[in-house]
Amino acid sequence: MKGIILHGGHGTRLRPLTHTGPKQLLPIANKPMSEYCVETLSNAGIKEIAIIIGGIGSNKVKEYYGEGEKFGVKFTYIQQDSPRGIAHAISLCEDFVDNEKFVVFLGDNIIQREINEYVLDFKKSDASASLLLCEVDNPSQFGIAEIENNKIIKITEKPKNPPTNLAVTGIYFLTPYIFEIIKKLKPSWRNELEIADALQILVEEERKIIYGMITDFWKDTGTPNDIIEANKIILENMPELFKGEKENNVIIEGKIIVGEGTKIKNDVKISGPVIIGKNCVIEGNTIIDENTSIGDNSHLMNCKISNSIIMSNCTINGKLDIKNSIIASNSKIIKEERSEKKFILGEGTQISL
């Protein structure tokens, strides 16, 4: 079985974070969100993976992932000229799939479980598709499945009046027959080829579709709040690890992960779960509260950070109380008097307050 990761799109709901690169490279717990997809596929024994790229910064995807050696897989890159829908992106992979069953992962979908059992079940099954469903609070924002007598009877994309709260997650197990279905599709009102429409045709043709339920964590990380929530959940489930150095007068509570070369100096308090990357400097009068990620090579002084993501190569120096924020790489914030702030800062931002 082969794998496909969709890594395109404009990420408009995440601007300015996506002005310089794709949203799927935004870090959650100091790792690009699409890397969790790679790990999930690899752990399930899927080693041949196509990555669909397109849009701003698609070259950064190739630079980060390379040929796949460091991830124990082999990547094939396929270019999508513009965001024309999930089904269109899948259609570009017909030659790559080469008549095998395959699994599609949307690169901004995070789950906290393995998919091995679903892979094995689909390999053995005669089904045309297998879907993972999850109960959600906002079903009008997703493709929604209706089920009757343990059978999917209808799939609707973002219905105004959802008949159920069963969202079709961004993980699809498919056979090559789907390419014939996609060729029949017409663009939706968004001028996209919708995967929900393709799946609905399978339903109408009475093709066999099996499904599983995700009862633990699944997140479509389409907004800053989604990313911050996913960061929180992943931090809670990570094992503790300390590879840095700390001085004597440091207070640490809860679980923390600290990378090599990082120095935590006197008069710093950290309350986990927190992850701090490599070669960081955390200086005096700094408080890092729970659910916070600090990227590599960052320097924090005299500030308080909580429930936030600070990416790599950032400097925060001053009397700031930063909450519920995402600060992109190479940003610098300088402040003289203490105040509470919330930021969504794009790459390379510099602020003096």
The label of the residue with tokens 């699409």 reads 34
How far apart CA 321 and CA 323 sit, in angstroms, is: 7
Is the sign of the CA dihedral 136, 139, 141, 144 positive or negative? positive
Q: What are the structural domains of the chain?
A: 2-229 (3.90.550.10), 238-352 (2.160.10.10)
Is the sign of the CA dihedral 162, 167, 170, 176 positive or negative? negative
The structure's pTM equals: 0.87
Please tell me what DSSP assigns to residue 206.
T
Residue from 243, 318, 218 nearest 343 by CA: 318
Residuewise pLDDT in 10s, the chain (353 residues): 999 999 865 555 555 555 556 778 889 999 999 999 999 999 999 999 999 998 777 888 899 999 999 999 999 999 888 778 899 999 999 999 999 999 999 988 888 778 899 999 999 999 999 999 988 888 888 889 999 888 999 998 888 888 899 989 889 999 999 999 999 998 888 788 889 899 999 999 999 999 988 877 787 777 888 889 889 989 998 999 999 999 999 999 999 999 999 999 999 999 989 999 999 999 989 999 999 999 999 999 999 999 999 999 999 988 888 999 989 888 888 876 655 666 666 666 555 55
Show the tokens assigned to 122. Answer: 């689909």
